[in-house]
Amino acid sequence: MIPVSEALKIVKGETFILSSETVDLNESIGRILAQEIIADMDLPPFDRSQMDGFAVRSQDTEKAPAKLKIVGESIAGKGFDGEIKTGETVRIMTGARVPSGADAVQIIELTQRADENFVEILGAAKPKQNIVKRAAEIKKGESIFRKGERITENMIAAIASFRYARVKVLRKPKVAILATGSEIVDISKTPKQDQIRNSNSIMLEVFGKKAGAETTVLPIAGDDISNLKLQISEALKKSDVLIITGGVSVGDYDFTKPALRELGAEIFFEKVSLKPGKPTVFAKLGGKLIFGLPGNPVSVAVTFFLFVRTALLKMQGAENCDLKKGMARVSATIKGAKGRDSYLPVSLATDEKGNLIVESLRFSGSSNFIAFSRADALVFVPQNTSLEAGDIAEILYLP
Ligand code: AMP
Ligand code: MG
C-alpha cells in the first residue's frame, strides 16, 4: 500500500505530454495553450478619450471659464491629425484619439457652445483627465498568457485582440471508458433482480470531457476475463488512456488485474492508502495509461479527481493539474480511517461571518452517489485521526 502523494508522483511521472494542434479561437475553451500569447500592438494604440467632450490643453482651462476655438473633431475610427495650439480645442468622442497638443478632455456637460466656432470650457481640466494613455493596458511585445494556461471564456477577448484567430493548443487526450461487472446494465434498461445501472461510464464521460478529453464509452464488459482482455487490447489501439471501473478487488470475479497481467501490462500500484479508493490500479501497456478504479461510484469519482484528472491535464501540458487546495472550518465530527488517509466528498457553505464551512455529507458508504451529488470539495482527513467541529481542514475543490 502506498500513500496518495506517492501514487500521484508515479502517475505524473509516467504521464506523457501530447502533441499540439491549431484550432479556431472559438473552439478553444478548456484547451491548454501550447503557445505564449503576446501583444502584437499597444493597447490602447493611442491616447484614448474616455468621455465625450472637448480635448484641451489643461493650462488653457486653469482660469475657467475659458473660451476656446474649435479647430476640428476627433471621432472613433477617425482622429484629428493636426496639433492643438494654445487657445484651441477639438470636439472629441468616447474612444477617439486625443490629438497631439491636448493633455486633457473636459466632459461635454462642463462646456457650453458659444457659437459654431467657439466653446466655453466651464470647469478647469486637470492634466491627463479622462485620457487612457497609449499602452496603459498592455505594451506591444508583452506576454499576456503563458504556455500551459487553460483557456477560459474570460480570456477570449484578450486573446482575440492580438491576431490570434487561431491558437496552438495541446491535443485532447483520447480516453476509453470500460465498465466491468456482470450485474451492470445500460442506463436505458430496467435492471432485473441483482442488476444495477451503469452510472460509472456516463459519469466518467462527463468528468473526462470537463478535463479536456475526447471520450469513448465501450460496451459493458461482464466479469469474463477473456472478453475483458479483448476489450482492453482493442481500446488501447484507439486511445491514450483507458479507465476501467470495477473488478479491482480480490473477489473471485474481480478480473481487472489478472487481465492486465496476462496482457503484459506493467502495474505501478494496486493499493493506495486512501478512503474511498484503496484498490485503485495504475498500469501501462504499450505506452498507454490504464487506470483501474474501484466499482463504487463515489470511489470512482474520488479516484478520478485525484489521479485520472491529474494525468489528463498533465498530458495536455497544463501547469496546474492538481485540484485547487483550500482551508475550511469543519462544522461537525468527520471520522477518518485506520491506516488510510481519507478524501471525503463534502459540501461547502459560508457561516454568518463569511467563513468557509465544511458540511459533511451523510454517507452510508462509498456507494452513496446521491450524497455525492451535493459535493463541492473533498476534505482531507489524515489516517488514524478525526476532524472535530471547529477544526480547520484542508479541502480540495472539485472542478
Ligand atoms: P466491484 O469493484 O466490481 O466489486 O464493484 C463494487 C461495487 O460498485 C458493486 O456494488 C458494483 O455493483 C458497483 N459498480 C460497479 N460498477 C459499476 C458501474 N459501472 N456503475 C454503478 N455501479 C457499479
Ligand atoms: Mg464487479
335-354 tens-digit pLDDT: 999 999 999 999 999 999 99
With cut-offs at 50, 70 and 90, classify the pLDDT of residue 130: very high
- Ligand 1 atom with the smallest distance to the CA of 198 is 20
Q: Whose CA is nearest to atom 16 of ligand 1?
A: 295
The binding-site residues of ligand 1, defined as CB within 6 angstroms of any ligand atom, are 179, 181, 183-184, 196, 198-201, 245-249, 294-297, 367
Across residues 127-144, what is the average pLDDT? 97
Distance CA 370, CA 368 (A): 5
Ligand 2 centre to CA of 2 (Å) is: 23
pLDDT over threshold 80, residue 363: no
- Ligand 1 atom with the smallest distance to the CA of 249 is 2
With cut-offs at 50, 70 and 90, classify the pLDDT of residue 371: confident
Ligand 1 centre to CA of 200 (Å) is: 8
pLDDT over threshold 60, residue 398: yes
Q: Which ligand is nearest to the CA of 277?
A: 1
Across residues 271-280, what is the average pLDDT? 97
Query: What's the pLDDT tens digit per position in 42-65?
Result: 999 999 999 999 999 999 999 999
Query: What's the pLDDT tens digit per position in 78-126?
Result: 999 999 999 999 999 999 999 999 999 999 999 999 999 999 999 999 9
pLDDT over threshold 70, residue 367: no
Distance CA 236, CA 176 (A): 8
Pairing of β 104-107 and β 53-56: antiparallel
Helix H or strand E encompassing 204: helix 199-210
Ligand 2 centre to CA of 265 (Å) is: 20
pLDDT over threshold 90, residue 368: no
Mutate to test the pocket of ligand 1, among 177, 180, 182, 184 (most ligand atoms within 8 A of CB): 184
Query: What's the pLDDT tens digit per position in 206-223?
Result: 999 999 999 999 999 999
pLDDT over threshold 80, residue 275: yes
CA atoms within 13 A on the CB side of 24: 2
CA atoms within 13 A on the CB side of 159: 26
Q: Which ligand is nearest to the CA of 181?
A: 2
Ligand 2 centre to CA of 195 (Å) is: 11
Ligand 1 centre to CA of 373 (Å) is: 17
Mutate to test the pocket of ligand 1, among 196, 201, 253, 298 (most ligand atoms within 8 A of CB): 196
Q: Whose CA is nearest to atom 17 of ligand 1?
A: 295
Helix H or strand E encompassing 393: strand 392-397
Ligand 1 centre to CA of 323 (Å) is: 25
Q: What is the pTM of this model?
A: 0.89
pLDDT for position 365? 61
Ligand 2 centre to CA of 282 (Å) is: 17
- Ligand 1 atom with the smallest distance to the CA of 247 is 3
pLDDT over threshold 90, residue 364: no
- Ligand 1 atom with the smallest distance to the CA of 248 is 2
pLDDT over threshold 80, residue 273: yes
Across residues 9-15, what is the average pLDDT? 98
Q: Which ligand is nearest to the CA of 292?
A: 1
Distance CA 53, CA 109 (A): 8
Distance CA 23, CA 63 (A): 58
Do 11 and 291 form a contact (C-beta atoms < 8 A)? no
With cut-offs at 50, 70 and 90, classify the pLDDT of residue 361: confident
